[in-house]
Structure 1
């Protein structure tokens, strides 16, 4: 049948029938053979207030919470490498067809057996969930159909060649087709529909306060080290640090840079860091010929968009001291960036040089472009989404103003900011945004953050920046190239064009920073997700 999402959906009626409860009894027997983890409770202070519905509001903190209760077909390890989860294997049948074999014997928390129908249902629900402010479907635009070939086999068809589809599906959590049928986010928050296959089971959720999960004794994978985990929402940075110091929590995520050094010197506390895959960058909107956000020094609107001139875009890049931005803005907990990929990722160019700050050169470029007196602009950024984001924007405003781009900073709550920069109703000329790549490749940054929006191919979200047909051509080829070596070469060529024409202005890669009481070992993740299944406690 054809779902309202536009995908062709193939499901059996059997998938919608109530599951038999006898399987829950069977699991008691099966559990007897499972290794027991040592009893322990864990309390984690988290910055973000999560949603429990794994298909609602596509944000990294929500994916992290979902990974405790729900599994994807394909996951990623701490270094962003693809690993099997519910799919034990996958292969390309053709340029536009992928087949996934499900892990045998996996059961949901209610005891029912995972089948391909649950996978098909989950992918369909992602596309049809109403009133979703940031849908997970945005990352799956190339999919045209999801089919249950048999109970253990799923076939995904794309409308164009997509060599990285297995990594892209990592964001989709698989839910029970029975428990989630007709369910809305409130049904997940209450626990009624929160039936997954993950290492923990839903216990209790108090929005804005805490989520408690309990170990799933029938989990298909390694048993987690914790009996229960309580995630306490502590959005205020100081409150989160204070809770750790007072031993009200055992660990915290998103450690404020200003506190990391102090915590390292605190007896009984350990700090864990690694470079993340999130690049903080400036998007420059050169698409409209005129915008009200540009003014002359007297405040009158300009009759043309300065960012349509590559010299002005380069002047913006030369105005910024990236190393100073990292040192002063995030206390050194960042890596200055020359490109939209962190080191070690496929598509990262080790020969790319970080732009040397050159205020005099920036002013000369502005003069050559016809702006000897500079111009005024508003820099829009979030306040509370990235590490010290509003503080970083203030530093950027000062650096730009120093070369004649008189910058007014408008830092807004994330919900307002992301509404402002929606491609369908863009209300900004200059934005500071973060992009998490995921999957160990630069391709997602190229296809989504940098490629111009193309309704024909489904590529691109870059209606909020500067477009380049030459760069788009390399990206389009890379996105369809199954030969890994050739794909890497195409990505490097696209990145080179981006740097040459200043399509975006990369600033730095964020660090993943967590802290815990001594005795807890944390492996920080490149994707910045707080997932405790890999955490260990000393005996």
Structure 2
């Protein structure tokens, strides 16, 4: 009898131990399943949502802060904090806010916070493109009531709702005296968005948790670990090892491998991001990092001659870059928008590389022996960015323009490019509004800080015809007429070789097989749209 009891006790204890051991991995697995680990290629420069008009910053901002309107995967407008909006003739736009929107700390979001946000933006100075571009049309804000705000414009502004889909909203009570450092510390990183701030380590990661009181559809994930892994190989390795569940900017060398591996899923689409070369034609000698063919000083800036700029464009074999360097993960182009998009120029073929004509143009411009130039770019920001500048450097050297290539971390490169330390640079613009309007206004329009023109015009390019057509387009309420004006403005800049469009980069993502994601033309990483597959 005693023996029987002893055996029963041991048997019961064993069952408890087995149950406890079984529960441990289950609990850990459940916790892990609630966290989405993302490996992202582009670093973030600040948590301050108005610090820098940069895609990587904006996608982080939109985890924490909402916008009045939002866009879907095809860049079509959808309601956001505003449930509806309407044009007030040609005077401006009225936005009607949703009811009961609150910041993470419970503070109500009201129409006055919209007014505050527009007041704050011009006071924030970052290292590159500014959000002033998006609010430039607004001349006056009228807070009608707590849920209604009217934005009056200096002239008809058909694209204001589109611009506002990219402007994160803040609160007067919460952020009136907030500095960029306050946001980076997390002290005032308080928004109305689907996630709450947990921690931020610059250059490494941002950790957020689900906003259980979110006004919209709640994210599937209780937390998101947003890791910045700029090295292409390390990003893929992290996915293969299971350290992350989802990566963007798939290295092209790994694309076929990931497509064929049944453990993973690839999502891709042609993006709205155009990669291009800027040529600083406005500098007068001495031009930094340029010299005559023999290394001596230049008497004039070769880039000021349109024939030289055309020669440099013709020397570039865009299709070869797409085929060999980008491994077909891009679309060669000679313009700013992809086929089928608003303001795409029909019957404008991709330029064919022509080294002989390029050499002839150089000779006609007075440079039969060429000259020396430095071409700069990042080496950790965009797919194959350093390889692209290397390839172009070789193509330019073949026509007699001896090219030194400098590829460096984006954080260093972009500051130097903004200071005009390079005569030529590989840069880019993501046309996330679905047309060429913001690129024309920010990159190619004559710089005017008061009007918000040329905020990202790093070469100080100025063309009266581009300015005129762009100005008319931004006031034209008729879509068909505005489309033609944007095409004409784009063509005027392209014909003048204001910059050299190269290709439209594919937007690429890879993830565990049990996850899905709709590829976005604007390249945005949206953790709320990463979902488990239905079983």
**Structure 1 counterpart SS, 2:174:** coil
Structure 2 CA distance for partners of 1:183 and 1:251, relative to 1, 3 Å: same
Contact 2:447–2:454 (CA<8 Å) still a contact in 1?
yes
- Report the Cα offset of residue 60 of structure 1: 0.7
* TM-score, structure 1 normalization: 0.87
Partner of 1:338: 334
Q: Which of 426, 448, 453 lines up with 1:459 in the alignment? A: 453
Q: Which of 144, 169, 173 lines up with 1:178 in the alignment? A: 173
Partner of 1:79: 74
Contact 1:70–1:173 (CA<8 Å) still a contact in 2?
yes
**Structure 1 counterpart SS, 2:85:** strand
- Deviation sequence 1:341-393 (CA, Å, 0-9, x none): 22332100131100001111111111222221111111122222222212110
Partner of 2:145: 150
Contact 2:91–2:152 (CA<8 Å) still a contact in 1?
yes
Task: For 1:136-215, list aligned pairs within 5 A.
Answer: 136-215=131-210
- Report the Cα offset of residue 414 of structure 1: 1.9
Q: Is residue 29 of structure 2 the alignment partner of residue 41 of structure 1?
A: no
Structure 2 CA distance for partners of 1:466 and 1:188, relative to 1, 3 Å: closer
Structure 2 CA distance for partners of 1:510 and 1:239, relative to 1, 3 Å: same
Contact 2:133–2:453 (CA<8 Å) still a contact in 1?
no
Q: Is residue 439 of structure 2 the alignment partner of residue 436 of structure 1?
A: no
Distance in 1 of aligned mates of 2:109 and 2:347: 47
Contact 2:374–2:406 (CA<8 Å) still a contact in 1?
yes
Distance in 2 of aligned mates of 1:269 and 1:204: 29
Task: For 1:314-333, list aligned pairs within 5 A.
Answer: 314-333=310-329
Distance in 2 of aligned mates of 1:95 and 1:266: 54
Task: For 1:45-444, list aligned pairs within 5 A.
Answer: 45-50=39-44, 51-129=46-124, 135-292=130-287, 293-422=289-418, 425-444=419-438
Contact 2:133–2:452 (CA<8 Å) still a contact in 1?
no
Structure 2 CA distance for partners of 1:287 and 1:154, relative to 1, 3 Å: same
Length, aligned pairs only: 500
Distance in 2 of aligned mates of 1:441 and 1:258: 30
Structure 2 CA distance for partners of 1:504 and 1:209, relative to 1, 3 Å: closer
- Deviation sequence 1:129-157 (CA, Å, 0-9, x none): 46666543344333333332211111223
- Report the Cα offset of residue 456 of structure 1: 6.9
- Report the Cα offset of residue 474 of structure 1: 1.5
Structure 2 CA distance for partners of 1:415 and 1:158, relative to 1, 3 Å: farther
Q: Quick check: 273-282 or 343-352, which moved more?
A: 343-352
Distance in 2 of aligned mates of 1:513 and 1:496: 29
Structure 2 CA distance for partners of 1:480 and 1:142, relative to 1, 3 Å: same
Distance in 1 of aligned mates of 2:125 and 2:483: 37
Q: Which of 490, 496, 499 lines up with 1:495 in the alignment? A: 490
- Report the Cα offset of residue 514 of structure 1: 1.0
Distance in 2 of aligned mates of 1:277 and 1:265: 26
Distance in 2 of aligned mates of 1:208 and 1:492: 38
Structure 2 CA distance for partners of 1:195 and 1:456, relative to 1, 3 Å: closer
Distance in 2 of aligned mates of 1:183 and 1:495: 39
- Deviation sequence 1:497-522 (CA, Å, 0-9, x none): 23333222100011111110101001
Distance in 2 of aligned mates of 1:402 and 1:133: 33
Distance in 2 of aligned mates of 1:204 and 1:499: 44
- Deviation sequence 1:156-195 (CA, Å, 0-9, x none): 2333432211111222211233232322334334433222
**Structure 1 counterpart SS, 2:165:** helix
Distance in 2 of aligned mates of 1:410 and 1:101: 49
- Deviation sequence 1:239-283 (CA, Å, 0-9, x none): 221111111111111211111122222230111111111111111
Distance in 2 of aligned mates of 1:426 and 1:512: 29
Contact 1:466–1:504 (CA<8 Å) still a contact in 2?
no
- Deviation sequence 1:204-247 (CA, Å, 0-9, x none): 33444332222222222222222222212322222221111111
Gaps of 5+ in 1: 1-38
* TM-score, structure 2 normalization: 0.88
